[in-house]
Structures are given as structure tokens and as C-alpha cells.
Amino acid sequence: MTCWYEGPLTAFDTETTGVDVETDRIVSAAVVVQDSPGSRPRVRRWLVNPGVPVPEGATAVHGLTDEHLRHNGRWPSPVMDEIVRELAEQSAAGRPLVVMNAPFDLTLLDRELRRHRASSLCHWFEAVPLLVLDPRVLDKHLDRYRKGRRTLGDLCAHYEVELAEAHDAAADALASLEVARALGRRFALRLERLSPAELHTLQAVWHAAQARGLQAWFARSGVEESVDPAWPLRPEFRAAA
């Protein structure tokens, strides 16, 4: 039987106006599908006119300016519908979804669906569950004592995965997918017997433990910052929305 990391995978990534999942917006997104390691990926991209100004700091990261998005981006409502339909189709086809730092991208998508479609991410996955593989959570659990940061770029360097164009949604999604495969191969003895459904459940537990550890470190350091233990989707805060 083929292990999940040798089989079909889908990956999702976004570029945004900022890092606040409750108020920031998606400006570009990509879904990448790969049927097997080394096979040619199929890529679907979206460019969004968010309807709000894009901060200079965000543009400095992904290179997408207000002018470019106004002239080339589409309105958010149809884009969010297309994205979630694509993810639902991939899930129905049995392909696990790789999302680096899933609580960010998936929560942001959920808030955009609520904002523009009067819908939610959970609504689309009531019948067929979304099975998520988060390279960040997997790496922190499987190699917890390794020092250093664990951004996508760091993981690509560590697992010898090419990141051709960082902060391009399609490039980041493909790199995340390749990191997930590399993680599977490196930790095969610990992962090969686990199904994507089992891994999804375990990652929620692992992420919560990781969040508690980071929260404790913040407390010891006198840093006033809260860490959300929810994974892969943060609960809705109606007041913020």
C-alpha cells in the first residue's frame, strides 16, 4: 500500500495584506496538485483585488501593489467561492491538503468566505472532511529539539527542497508539498503506518501542545502575547469579524 507521502497530495497557499486573520485580506492564492513524487504539478492561481489598501510592508514581501491588484485582480466574492470549491473537489477525490502554518491560511480563507459569501470553511466540509498536513506542526513534533527557526524557507533548506520564488503563492504551495513528502520519507518509521485522517487528528493535539509550550515561554520572558492552540482552523470571533 502506498504511503500518504508517496501518493497524491494537494497544497494551498495565500499572500495577504497582513498577518491578522480577522481583518487582513487575501490578495493571491494558489492550489497545487501532484499525483506522485516527481510528477508534473497542476497549478491553479488567483489574483484578488481586496478592496482595501495593501500596506507597503505587505507589498515589500510579495511584490503585489495596489495598482497591480486594481488592474489585474478579481473581486473577492467569486474568487473565494472558486478556491473553496477547488479544495472541496480535491478533498472529495481523497487528496490530503498540505498547508504550511494551516491556522493562518485556512482561518483567513474562512473569514473571507464569511465576509464575502456569508459562508464558512466548515460548511464546505461537513460531508467530506478536509484532511490537512501542516509541515510546520509535523516538523516541530518530529524534530522538536532542533534549534533554529521553522519558516518555510528554513524547512526547505533543512529538507533540501527547492524554493524557486519565495512569497509567490504557487511556489510556496509547491515547496510546502515537497517538504511534506521529505518529512514523510525522513520519518517514515514513525509516519508510514498513519493515515492522513489519523495524522490530522494527531496534529491538532501536537499543535495544542506546541502552543502551550510557546505560551509558557512567553510568560517566562515577560512577553504579553497569546498563542491560539486551535488547529487547523481558529474559532470565529464574531466581534472582530
Q: Which pLDDT does position 81 carry in this prediction?
A: 98
Global pTM reads 0.95
3-state secondary structure labels for all residues of the chain: CCCHHHCCEEEEEEEECCCCCCCCCEEEEEEEEECCCCCCCEEEEEEECCCCCCCHHHHHHHCCCHHHHHHHCECHHHHHHHHHHHHHHHHHCCCCEECCCHHHHHHHHHHHHHHHHCCCHHHHCCCCCCCEECHHHHHHHHCCCCCCCCCHHHHHHHCCCCCCCCCCHHHHHHHHHHHHHHHHHHCHHHHCCCCHHHHHHHHHHHHHHHHHHHHHHHHHHCCCCCCCCCCCCCCCCCCCC
Q: Which pLDDT does position 239 carry in this prediction?
A: 44
pLDDT of 3-62, one tens digit each?
A: 999 999 999 999 999 999 999 999 999 999 999 999 999 999 999 999 999 999 999 999
Q: Which pLDDT does position 164 carry in this prediction?
A: 83
Mean pLDDT of 173-195: 97
pLDDT at 95 over 60: yes
pLDDT at 75 over 60: yes
Query: Nearest CA to 135 among 93, 103, 179?
Result: 179
pLDDT of 145-164, one tens digit each?
A: 999 999 999 999 999 999 98
Mean pLDDT of 223-235: 93
Q: What percent of the chain has pLDDT over 90?
A: 93
pLDDT of 106-121, one tens digit each?
A: 999 999 999 999 999 9
Per-domain residue ranges for the chain?
A: 4-221
Mean of the per-residue pLDDT values of the chain = 95
Of residues 132 and 192, more confidence is placed in 132
Of residues 167 and 10, more confidence is placed in 10
pLDDT of 127-150, one tens digit each?
A: 999 999 999 999 999 999 999 999
- Mutual angle of helices 135-142 and 169-186, in 10-degree steps: 30
pLDDT at 238 over 60: no
Could you tell me which CATH number the domain at 4-221 has?
3.30.420.10
C-alpha cell at 58: 505587505
Provide CB contacts within 8 A for 86, sequence distance 6+. 31, 44
pLDDT at 240 over 50: no
pLDDT at 165 over 90: no
Query: Nearest CA to 51 among 144, 98, 115?
Result: 115
Q: What percent of the chain has pLDDT over 70?
A: 98
Query: Nearest CA to 80 among 18, 29, 16?
Result: 29
Q: Which pLDDT does position 241 carry in this prediction?
A: 39
Q: Which pLDDT does position 94 carry in this prediction?
A: 95
